[in-house]
Structure 1
Amino acid sequence: MTKTFVTRRRWWIAASAVAVGGSLLGVQAAASGAAAPAAWSNTPEGFASTDGGTTGGAGGETVTVDTFEELNQYATAEEPYIIRVDGTIEYEQMGYEVRVASNKTIVGVGTGGEIVGGGFFLNEVSNVIVRNLTIRDTRMPDDDPGDDDYDYDAIQMDGADHVWIDHNRLERMNDGLIDSREDTTNLTVSWNIINENNKTFGIGWTDNVTARITIHHNWFTDTNARNPSIDNVANAHLYNNYLQNTGSGNWSRGSSNTVIENSYFEGVTDPYYITDDAQLVESGSIVVDSEGDRQTGGDGFDPGSFYDYTLDPASEVPALLEAGAGPQADIS
């Protein structure tokens, strides 16, 4: 396995494009001789791609839902489903988390698929994709200023395996935007906007050190703690993330082994740091207008020994994510 260093061509400013297998290829990039990647891959990069990959509801029926009752019916079913969320679905019970069963894809239609007032819970399930959605607004600021009393997550995972969380906008939840708990593994979190939250992205809640997680091309903005907090993760690979105006940075703790590559930290307190017996190796990142710790230690690991991946230059990360993170019209 190898990692590839490229300068991605700006497919969104290409003068024209050609459709190939449902994706767009910038012809300017092709003319320049540079690689012209598909706009968005329908398969994950990172640990979710290993050991057979993550396919979600592939092979199952495709259904389109626009009510909570329909979403809950198909997401909790035993059979595989590709569930297209068309428009805004408001949960009647604030903070409820739909119990997603194995072999499901839940994907927003265009940029308008929204989950409001609740989220999803993946408990001891496998092979799930959550993609192209906005999940928002369970915040209880008057009753719970520290996000301690109401466990209203956007996406919570306990003991889940092979999960891909991609191109979502997650914001203003009363607790975590993403909680990866109890040995959840083979997880890839990519191209998400992670926005306006207190306890943002927590990983751990276990004494075991077995989990393998990839976090790449995410835009953390105006968040406070856990960006992410990585506790007892055997292999945590973070690359090409953009942290902007956050109260903390990438925290490797417990016995975690963390590798950070080519990320961009702007206005961040403690951009990257370690506690306990954790390891953290960093390379290629840019830090601006930030203060506090930049700690490294330990040997790290070689992510390329697990999977192939592509690194963008850190200098290009803000523009890439401002243009390409979050829900996209051409994904669903």
Structure 2
Amino acid sequence: MKLFFIVSFLFMYLPALTLAGCEDSAEGFAALNGGTTGGNGGTVVTVTNQADLERYARSSGKYVIKVSGRINISPKGTEIDVASDKTIIGVGAAAEISGGGFRIINRRNVIIRNLRIGNTNGGEELDWDGIQADTSTNIWIDHCIFENVGDGGIDMRKDSDYWTVSNTWIKGVNKAFGIGWTENIVTKATIHHVYFDGTNQRNPSAGGMLYAHLYNNYLRGCGSYGHYIRGATNGRVENVYFEDCKNPLQADPESTLTAVGNVFDGSSGVISGDIGVSFDPADFYSYKLNPTSDVPRIVLKHAGPKADVCS
């Protein structure tokens, strides 16, 4: 009988205990500049409503904020301010921020993982984004899904630097993922294993970036264009699978582009060739490329929220 209660306790609380100890690290540029650790080592809290989410997200100090269930945001389109040294992570695959998103403005060291974010349809003219970051550093977005978003799914803007977006699903969003809104060429970012699913534009639109590393992404059904290396961006695009995309790979004449191992399945229109020789990401960090033929299977399996994303 005693053993029964011990086993029952473990089954009830193991997910929470596992999540509390979730201190995974990002790959890519988010791992540099001191690393992106979010609220690791800080206070662990669980939130089920908007008031508590806002309270802890804006607090000073380190917090791991576990989102349980669906949080309905009011008024619609509200973007919750996130302070430095925060991890916001969904408990299980059903954790959701509905009717709003997040703002990361002049902050450092933020992780957002394992969340459904969206249901802000109709807010394009009101700039209702899933996640908007301005002038911030060391951000990791991982295992999220953006769906029914009013404006941009993800907007990384105004010199935001040292960030990684990984294992994320952007579904049916018009302006999927925008980067730039700055004349400075400082941004260094990694985008890998991201599923652009029936999106239209900004897949991403990588403008004004010192280094843009895009690898092992899966783009299916792009309506306007796929990966776009804009302006003076120095970009490397590796082992990306483009399926039924219009203008799957574009680059402006003033950009630098090295494109290696990409597949253009049923895609048509602009497919830019190399322009100069891009930077080598291996000079900055270690990473492992999946074979391009395996990318759809791998991305479909892993992108978006999961029961437990902690390794």
Structure 1 and Structure 2 fold alike (TM over 0.5): yes
Q: 1:321, 1:238 → 2: CA distance?
A: 14
Letter of the aligned partner of 2:184 in structure 1? N
What is the RMSD of the two structures over their aligned residues, measured on CA atoms? 1.5
Higher helix share: 2
Shift of 1:322: 1.1
Distance of 1:171 and 1:212 partners within structure 2? 26
Q: Please, which of 249, 255, 263 is the counterpart of residue 232 of structure 2?
A: 255
- Mapping for residues 221-236 of structure 1, pairs under 5 Å: 221-236=197-212
How far has the Cα of 1:276 moved from its partner?
4.6
CA distance in 1, matches of 2:308, 2:79: 27
1:58-207 map, 5 Å: 58-140=40-122, 147=124, 149-207=125-183
Shift of residue 22, structure 1, vs aligned partner: 6.2
Identify the residue that residue 290 of structure 1 maps to in structure 2. 267
Task: Output the amino acid matched with 2:67.
Answer: V
Distance between the aligned counterparts of 1:226 and 1:276, measured in 2?
A: 18
Is the Cα contact below 8 Å between 1:170 and 1:194 reproduced in 2?
yes
The answer for the alignment partner of 2:300 in structure 1 is 322
1:25-80 Cα deviation digits (max 9, x unpaired): xxxxxxxxxxxxxxx98110000001221000011100000000000000000121
State how far apart, in whole Å, the 2-side matches of 1:314 and 1:68 are: 41
- Structure 1 regions of 5+ residues with no counterpart? 1-20, 24-39
How many angstroms apart in 1 are the aligned matches of 2:214 and 2:24? 20
Distance (Å, rounded) in 1 between the aligned partners of 2:228 and 2:179: 10
Equivalent position of 1:239 in the other structure: 215
Please say if residues 180 and 207 of structure 2, whose CA atoms lie closer than 8 Å, have aligned partners that are also in contact. yes
Equivalent residue number for residue 213 of structure 1: 189
Query: Which one-letter code corresponds to 1:258 in the other structure?
Result: G
**Which contiguous aligned blocks of 4+ residues in structure 1 show a shift greater than 4 angstroms?**
none
Answer whether contact 1:126 1:163 (CA < 8 A) is retained. Answer: yes
Q: In the aligned structure 2, how far is the partner of 1:169 from the partner of 1:259?
A: 24
How much does 1:155 deviate? 0.2
Q: Is the 8 A contact 1:241 1:264 kept in 2?
A: yes
What SS class does the counterpart of residue 294 from structure 2 fall into?
A: helix
Gaps of 5+ in 2: 1-16
Letter in 1 for 2:283: S
User: Aligned pair in 2 of structure 1 residues 284, 169: CA closer, same or farther (>3 Å)?
Assistant: same
CA contact (8 A) 2:23 2:40 kept: no
Deviation at 1:330, TM superposition (A): 1.6
Match of 1:27 in 2: none
Compare 95-104 and 277-286 and name the one that shifted more: 277-286
Find the aligned partners of 1:198 and 1:55 in 2 and give their Cα distance: 31
Residues of 2 paired with 1:118 and 1:234: CA distance?
31
Within 5 Å, give how 1:299-318 maps onto structure 2: 299-318=277-296
SS at 1:174 equivalent? coil
How far the C-alpha of 1:112 sits from its partner, in A, is 1.3
Q: Deviations over 1:237-277 (max 9, x none)?
A: 00000000012110011110110000100011111111251
Once the 2 structures are TM-superposed, how far is the Cα of residue 279 of structure 1 from its aligned partner?
A: 1.4
One-letter amino acid of the structure 2 residue matched with residue 44 of structure 1: A
Work out the CA distance in 2 between the residues paired with 1:324 and 1:229. 23
Secondary structure of the structure 2 residue equivalent to 1:224:
coil
